[in-house]
Structure 1
Amino acid sequence: MKVRDLPDRFHIHPLLWAMLLIGYLTGSFAELLIILTIVLIHEFGHLTMAFFFRWRIKKVMLWPFGGVMETDEYYTRPSLEEYLVLLMGPVQHLWVYLAIHLLSIWNVLPGHILEYAFMYNTYLLLFNLLPVWPLDGGKLLFLFVSTYVPFKKAYDHVMIFSFWMVIGLVLVTVIYHWSTLHTILLACFLLYEIRLEWKRKHFVYLRHLLARLQNNNLFKQQKSLVVSPYTTVSEAAKGFYKGRYHTIHIPVDVERKSFVALEETDCLHAIFTDQKPFLRLEQLAKKI
Structure 2
Amino acid sequence: MIKFRGIVWSIHPLFVLVMIASIVTGYFAELITLFGIVLVHELGHVIVARGYGWTIREVKLLPFGGVAEVEDTGGLPAKEEAVVVLAGPLQNVWMGAAAWGMGQLGWWDSEWAAYVLQANIMIGLFNLLPILPLDGGKLLQVVLSRSLTYHQMLTWGARISLLLSAGMVLYAFSPLFQGGGRGIQLNLLAVGIFLFMTNWTYNRHIPFLFLRFLTSRGTASTRHIIRGVWAQPIVVSQRHTVTAALRLFKRDRYHLIVVMEERGRILGILPEQQLVNGFLEDGKPDRAVCDLFM
TM-score, scaled relative to structure 2: 0.88
Which runs of 5 or more structure 1 residues have no equivalent in the other structure?
Answer: none
Query: Is residue 193 from structure 1 mapped to residue 202 from structure 2 by the alignment?
Result: no
**Alpha-carbon RMSD:** 2.1
Q: Structure 1, residues 139-175: CA drift from partner, whole Å, max 9, x if none? A: 1111111111111112111101111112223334433
- Residue 236 (structure 2) aligns with: 227
- Residue 276 (structure 2) aligns with: 268
Change (3 A) 1:221 1:39: farther
CA apart distance, 1:260: 2.2
Which runs of 5 or more structure 2 residues have no equivalent in the other structure?
Answer: none
Q: Match for 1:113: what amino acid?
A: W
Query: Is residue 180 from structure 1 mapped to residue 189 from structure 2 by the alignment?
Result: no
**Does the Cα contact within 8 Å between 2:97 and 2:117 map onto a contact in 1?**
no
Q: Determine which of 239, 245, 250 is the counterpart of 1:241.
A: 250
**Does the Cα contact within 8 Å between 2:93 and 2:120 map onto a contact in 1?**
no
**Does the Cα contact within 8 Å between 2:242 and 2:279 map onto a contact in 1?**
yes
Deviates more, 1:140-149 or 1:103-112: 103-112
Q: Structure 1, residues 11-69: CA drift from partner, whole Å, max 9, x if none? A: 12344334334423432111111111111111001000111112121211112232211
Deviates more, 1:71-80 or 1:144-153: 71-80
Calculate percent identity across the aligned residue pairs: 30
In structure 2, distance between residues paired with 1:15 and 1:172: 20
**Does the Cα contact within 8 Å between 1:252 and 1:260 map onto a contact in 2?**
no
Q: Match for 1:107: what amino acid?
A: G
CA apart distance, 1:253: 6.7
- Residue 96 (structure 1) aligns with: 95
Query: Is residue 280 from structure 1 mapped to residue 288 from structure 2 by the alignment?
Result: yes
**Does the Cα contact within 8 Å between 1:151 and 1:241 map onto a contact in 2?**
yes
Q: Structure 1, residues 100-149: CA drift from partner, whole Å, max 9, x if none? A: 12211332322221111111111111111111111111111111111111
In structure 2, distance between residues paired with 1:22 and 1:275: 50
Q: Match for 1:133: what amino acid?
A: L
**Does the Cα contact within 8 Å between 1:232 and 1:277 map onto a contact in 2?**
yes
Q: How does 1:1-288 map to 2 (within 5 A)?
A: 4-5=4-5, 9-175=8-174, 179-219=184-224, 220-252=229-261, 254=263, 257-285=265-293, 287=294
Q: Structure 1, residues 52-101: CA drift from partner, whole Å, max 9, x if none? A: 11212121111223221122343321111111111111111111122112
Q: Match for 1:34: what amino acid?
A: T
TM-score, scaled relative to structure 1: 0.90
**Does the Cα contact within 8 Å between 2:168 and 2:189 map onto a contact in 1?**
no
